[in-house]
Amino acid sequence: MGLLKTIFVGGALYLGIKAFTTGAGLSNFYKKMNYYISAKLHSITWNGLIAKVNIDIHNPTDTQVKMTKPYVRIYSGDIEVGHSSPENTEIIVQPHSATKIEDITITIPWGTEMTKLLAKAGKKLVNLVAAGVDEPVGINLTVKAMMDVAGINDIVQTSEVSL
């Protein structure tokens, strides 16, 4: 009798949670959520290149969702060349709207991998910096944004960007 009761209670809990998340639109939310990641070269300092990453989150559902500010890593091939500082900042994604997370700052320190990237960008980088022009210089990187959305960890979005 105890086993039957345990199975019944477990099944009822599962169905209750499933009904709540489906009713709240959370299952729909993950299927329809869109993330658009962009990055630009912000400045060059003695510490390295400073990149600014922006993430647009489009929520076409009826559900308002809370999430943490994404932790962002930048890769050149398989090598991580920089990352943001983790923040415990809550972001509210409103239903049927776009939420913009702007200016996630990442320092890409000077080093062997950075030297290779700058060699590829070459003279164009020098001319753009001297002219104060804000456009990509041809450094192609992969940006990974990791976030906690509605209590679910390990939501990872990846985008290829050109600094």
- On whether both 20 and 92 belong to a single domain, the answer is no
73: β partners = 83, 144
Each residue's pLDDT tens digit, 104-129: 999 988 886 777 777 777 667 667 66
Each residue's pLDDT tens digit, 18-43: 655 554 555 556 667 888 988 888 88
Quickly state the pLDDT bin for 6 (edges 50, 70, 90).
Answer: low
pTM of the full structure? 0.70
Structure tokens at 6: 């345990």
- What is the DSSP-derived secondary structure letter of residue 87? -
- On whether both 155 and 85 belong to a single domain, the answer is yes
Angle at 79 between CA 71 and CA 55, to 5 degrees: 30
Quickly state the pLDDT bin for 16 (edges 50, 70, 90).
Answer: low
- On whether both 81 and 155 belong to a single domain, the answer is yes
Residue from 113, 51, 44 nearest 83 by CA = 51
Mean pLDDT of the chain: 77
Residue 134 has pLDDT above 80, yes or no: no
36: β partners = 56
Domain boundaries, position 89: 33-162
Query: Beta-carbon neighbour count of residue 11 at 10 Å?
Result: 10
- On whether both 156 and 132 belong to a single domain, the answer is yes
- On whether both 65 and 122 belong to a single domain, the answer is yes
Each residue's pLDDT tens digit, 48-61: 888 899 999 999 88
Stretch 152-158: mean pLDDT, rounded?
70
Each residue's pLDDT tens digit, 43-97: 878 888 888 999 999 998 888 888 888 889 989 888 889 899 988 889 998 999 9
- Total domain count for the chain? 2
Percentage of the chain beyond pLDDT 70 is 65
